[in-house]
Amino acid sequence: MTNQDNALFGVVPIIPTPFTENEEIDEAALCRLVDFAIDGGIRAACLPAYASEFYKLTDDEKLQVVRVAVKHAAGRLKIVAQSNHPSLKVAIKLAQANIEAGANVISLAVPRIFSLPENSLKEYLSTFLQAIPDTPVLIQDFNPGGASISVGFIQNLMEENPNFKYLKLEEPLCAPKFESIISATNDQIGLFEGWGGLYMLELVPIGIRGVMPGLAVADILQKIFDLRSAGQTTKAFELFEKVMPQIFFSLQNMELFHYAEKELLMARGVLSNSIARKAAYIPDPSSINYIRELNDRILTLVNDDAYAIRPVASSIY
């Protein structure tokens, strides 16, 4: 595999983990989610990440969803395999298994269970990168309790590890930092924005490579990304303003996001339930009604010929 073959651009959504009534992984539903991404013009997708409830999956299940996605995609969609684990040894083992399963890119979150100095994080990330030197790696840093990894850290990590190709950051007011990273790395690191794509209109002109939102609105955000990249600012803002309420509401709580995301995928005809593994968010009646209202607005949007997104799936059966 060449780096160009595995280049990531545009919207790279997180595929949620679908479950049966007894909370087992629903492989048939997972295949429908892969098809939904492909039909929406998505070129790469990631799993199992935070938005896939990876923290509720066993290590065998994490590998299972990657295998199913790779096999069903059959080259139609690049698969970014998240290999998170606070144990470096386990993370490497999982990454190697994901590569063996056919993943195109490996993703790893900076371990943030407890606060660690940058030299500890550097050792963790460098050793991981060196364990899979022939595979492109995307590093994700989500640190609600403090700053993400520094620009100098990123530059040194890139210089020492040629397979460090992508970086995903999830923090507000990050435009100056993104600009500094692009400058320090000579734009050799593909930058992705997370957090549902909430900051994408601010960051596209700076030169980010793409965004990594939830799957249910990925086709809409791909349209927005393309419009903004092409300089069609008014159209990009108009469309973004229509989808932003759904994104903003669901991101108030990660477990709420799972429920809202799967409810929208049900509304769009892809999933048959919105089950998340327990412990899961139990929405109050007001939230349930509001999510339905938000989802109805998304359905109206995707069926509006003026925006040329795509129709709702006719049936999941």
240 within domain boundaries: no
CA dist 61 and 227 (Å) reads 37
Boundaries of domain holding 58: 10-231
Decide: pTM greater than 0.85.
yes
48 within domain boundaries: yes
Q: What percent of the chain has pLDDT over 90?
A: 89
Specify the DSSP class assigned to residue 206: G
292 within domain boundaries: no
**Cβ(88)–Cβ(102) under 8 Å?**
no
241 within domain boundaries: no
CA dist 83 and 85 (Å) reads 7
- What mean pLDDT value characterizes the chain? 94
Tokens, residue 15? 């595929």
Q: For the domain that residue 220 is a member of, what is the CATH number?
A: 3.20.20.70
69 within domain boundaries: yes
199 within domain boundaries: yes
Burial code of 212-239, b = ≥16 C-beta within 10 A, e = fewer?
Answer: bbbbbbbbbbbbbbbbbbeeeeebbeeb
**Cβ(197)–Cβ(42) under 8 Å?**
no
311 within domain boundaries: no
Q: E strands within the chain?
A: 10-11, 44-47, 78-82, 105-109, 137-141, 164-169, 190-193, 210-211
Summarize the confidence of residues 144-161 as an average pLDDT. 93
308 within domain boundaries: no
Ligand-binding annotation for 212, yes or no, is yes
Task: Tell me the pLDDT tens digit for each residue of 223-252.
Answer: 999 999 999 999 999 999 999 999 999 999
Tokens, residue 180? 């500094």
CA dist 198 and 177 (Å) reads 17
Q: E strands within 153-219?
A: 164-169, 190-193, 210-211
Total domain count, the chain: 1
Task: Tell me the pLDDT tens digit for each residue of 8-64.
Answer: 999 999 999 999 999 999 999 999 999 999 999 999 999 999 999 999 999 999 999
CA dist 64 and 205 (Å) reads 38
